[in-house]
Each structure stands twice: as C-alpha cells, then as structure tokens.
Chains A and B, each alone.
Chain A
C-alpha cells in the first residue's frame, strides 16, 4: 500500500454537550479517493473540517503528509496549503475575478510574484475548463463554473490532498456533470481525495473506497461494489436503499 497522506486516529468532536465524532479513524493512501456517505447530521462535514483544522478536534491525532496537524508548534497556515478544500456553497470571493480568487493565496501565502501567480492561476483555470473566464467575477459565472473556480483555487496551491464537502449539492442538476468531470480528471491525474457527496454514480465509478458514517462513527467501509451491493450492516443497507429510492 502506498504511503498514507492522511492518518487520523481516534477523532472526537464535541459541540458543547453534543458528541458529534465518537472516535473516528481515517487513513487515506496516496492517490486514493475515499468517498464518505451517511445520513444528515452523522458528522461527515465535521470530520472533513477537522482534517484541515477548520474545526478543532476535542481528542485524537491527525497526520497529513507527515505533518502533525494538532501539534501547537505546527504552522497551520503553511500546512493548510497542502490540504485543499471545496465547499458546498463555493465560497468564492465576490469582489475578485476568477483569476483573483485563484491567485490570492499564491501571492499572500506561497509568496509568488503577481506574474508567477497569474501564470499558475491561468493554468489552474485551464485545467477546470475555464481559461476563458479568468476576468469574470463570481456573479457573472454559473454555479457549476463557480465551483470549478473554487476547485482551481485549491489545486493552484498543489495540495497533497483535497477535501470535497458536498461539492455538487448546491448545483442545478444540469451543472453537476461539469463539476464531477473536473473531479474525475483530478482523480485520474493522481490527486488524493476525500469526498463527501450523495453522487452515488460518481462513487461507483471513481471511488477506491466508500466509507459509511452514522452518529459519529464509521459503521463500515470497503470497495464501492461491496458497500452498495452487499453491505454488512443493517444501517448501511437502510441508508443505501433509502437514497437509491430518490
């Protein structure tokens, strides 16, 4: 097995009295695509957000690309460049162009000159099929295009792993394909990815492993075919038959 990019052990997260993650372990190997499913409120987003410390775990350990993420001595801003994150609501900066969105961190965090950053940024926009939209602001782009700019914003930093939190859930159905297409290309180029999503078709085609979460624990995991066709837990079966009815 290839080297692990993400190694999370015994993750717990409390929000006040609410115990949201109850001892989650997650290993993600290099070039692996792990697909996370589970009912609403099961802790999928919280798990993902712990992996770049947008959420502070209450207990446990996280190594990403050999960096101990929870060590107080770790420069978290430096580490976060290696962990791309794509949000359900895109979260593009509305006051900047697509290129401005993609180059901000390149200039401010990676220390590139404007010229270098622009060159890298244009390349990233090309990769998501939006080379001709560099000068557009988010307001002038469709949802699918906005999400692809958000992906470009992450890949421009050359992350070692990318986290996707329901990247297509806010999109009109006809725009979902373009975003999944970009994710597919990314996967084929060898990007390590953790994807929370309801796109079961994409999971079947692109995921190496599917992980089912419920009530803050990983109930079971395995290859997509095994989880979808032959789950070993009733909870998994119930969840899968429920989403397949929709």
Chain B
C-alpha cells in the first residue's frame, strides 16, 4: 500500500464512512435542533433583558448587569458541566441536551443583551425627544422609533456572536449529547478509524458555512445608511 493509499484508508475509509453515515446524520439533526433552540431562546431572552434594562430601574439593572457579566466571563463548557453534574445535587437532573441548550442560551442571552443594549443606547436622545414630543409613550417610542434603528446596528455583531456560540453545541459531547461530534467520536472508538471525524468536520462545514455566508450577506444588506 502506498503512503497515499494508506492516508486515504485511514482518514477517508469508504467502508467505515458508509457504516457510520446514519449516525453522523442523526448527529446533524441533534445539532440543528440544539442550534435552533439556543438561537431562538438566547436572542429572545437577550432582547427582553435589554428592553427591561431600558426602563432604567436601578436595582433591576444592576442585577441584569451582574447576570450578564457572569455568563460572559464563564467558559461555556464550565457552565454546561456545572449544570449537568452540579444541578443533580439540588435534585434537578437536566439531560445533557437540556444542559447544553440552557447553558449556551444563557451565554447567547448575555452577549446579545449587551449588543441590543449598545444598539438602543447608541440612538441619539433627539429621537426619543421628537417621538415623545408628539405624544408617543415610552413603549411606543421604543418599538416604533428606537428598536428599528437599534436592531439594524446590532445585526452584524449579533450575527457573528450567534454563529460563534452556536458552534459551541459541539461541547455537548462532553455531557453525552449525541450531536455531530459525539456521534463521530463514538464511531471513531468503535471502528478504530478516524474517518468518522472527517465526516463530522464535513457536516459542520455543510451546516455552518451557509450560515456564515448568509451572515455576511445580512451584514452588507443592513449596513447603516442614513
């Protein structure tokens, strides 16, 4: 066997790949499920926190800032592990899937809250004053005048952050989530061949490259024009 054939046999072994393809595909489904849940719940919670923060209630805002800074400073893996192995001590036993989902959603919530908040505060005070002077309430001003402008500004940083955090679904493998990386690594230990890992990597690219490309497109499309 030439070196090249040996390389192919090791990393792109057709027999192994065929055998474990269904496992990888089921891993893809789990990853998609996790990613969708994290993105939706993380962004909704982040926006909600930013809106609450805009009410300007001091003690509440301190609490929000504390929570957000906490989840931004902890490595996501630490949060996942704490939740999965630590919470059972408090008689709550989330599955690996739920631990990963909630942990990464909290991280995305925290980063997106800061991004939404930065967007809201970057809108000039004159916009508030003009709207309020015509009789719009605080909430009407926020929804009709401030948020539409703020969201445009937040889209580029938000897209980047969301992609980065969503890729963290691979961390779920540590707490036995059968997502792509989890499926690939157990296939590697069962087959004594690293080909499934190559399939896993390919699956991530197929999954996330379009998201990155769409993110790039959104960024240019929503670039701020005045």
Contacts and interface: CB of A to CB of B under 8 A. Distances in A.
Given A87-B126, A89-B126, A95-B148, A54 B134 contact: no
B226 A105 contact: no
For B124, B133, B145, B152, the residue with the greatest tally of chain A CB atoms inside 10 Å of its CB is B133
A109 B134 contact: yes
A170 B53 CA distance: 33
Interface string A70-92: 00000001111101110101011
Contacts of A99: none
Given A104-B144, A108-B144, A139-B225, A93 B127 contact: yes
B1 to A, nearest CB: 64
B13 interface: no
A153 interface: yes
Contacts of B132: 54, 77, 80
Nearest to B152: A95
Contacts of A89: 124, 126
For B131, B132, B135, the residue with the greatest tally of chain A CB atoms inside 10 Å of its CB is B135
Q: How large is the interface on A (under 10, 10 to 19, 20 to 34, 35 or more residues)?
A: 20 to 34
A83 B129 CA distance: 13
A157 interface: yes
A77 to B, nearest CB: 5
Interface string B14-57: 00000000000000000000000000000000000000000000
A150 B225 CA distance: 20
For A80, A108, A150, the residue with the greatest tally of chain B CB atoms inside 10 Å of its CB is A108
A52 interface: yes
Q: How large is the interface on B (under 10, 10 to 19, 20 to 34, 35 or more residues)?
A: 20 to 34
A150 B204 CA distance: 51
Contacts of A80: 132-135
B159 interface: no
Nearest to B127: A91
A109 B138 CA distance: 12
Interface of chain B, main secondary structure: helix
A154 interface: yes
B51 to A, nearest CB: 18
A181 interface: no
Contact of B133 (A85, A93, A139): A85
A228 to B, nearest CB: 30
A61 to B, nearest CB: 20
Given A93-B145, A95-B148, A139-B225, A77 B130 contact: no
B140 interface: yes
A110 B135 CA distance: 9
A41 interface: no
B149 interface: yes
Nearest to A102: B134
A95 B129 contact: no
A81 B145 CA distance: 17
Nearest to A157: B134
Nearest to B134: A105
Contacts of A177: none
B129 A87 contact: yes
A94 interface: yes
Nearest to B125: A91
B136 interface: yes
Contacts of A81: 134-135
A52 B144 CA distance: 21
Given A93-B145, A139-B226, A109 B136 contact: yes
Nearest to B130: A91
B140 A108 contact: yes
Nearest to A89: B126
B133 A95 contact: no
A78 B132 CA distance: 11
Given A81-B135, A108-B136, A109-B134, A54 B149 contact: no
13 contacts: A77-B136, A77-B137, A78-B135, A79-B135, A84-B133, A94-B226, A95-B149, A104-B136, A104-B144, A105-B134, A108-B140, A139-B226, A157-B134
9 tightest A-B contacts by CB? A91-B130, A105-B134, A91-B126, A109-B135, A85-B133, A81-B135, A80-B135, A77-B135, A139-B226
Given A78-B135, A80-B134, A93-B127, 9 more contacts: A81-B134, A81-B135, A83-B133, A87-B130, A89-B126, A91-B126, A104-B136, A110-B135, A139-B226
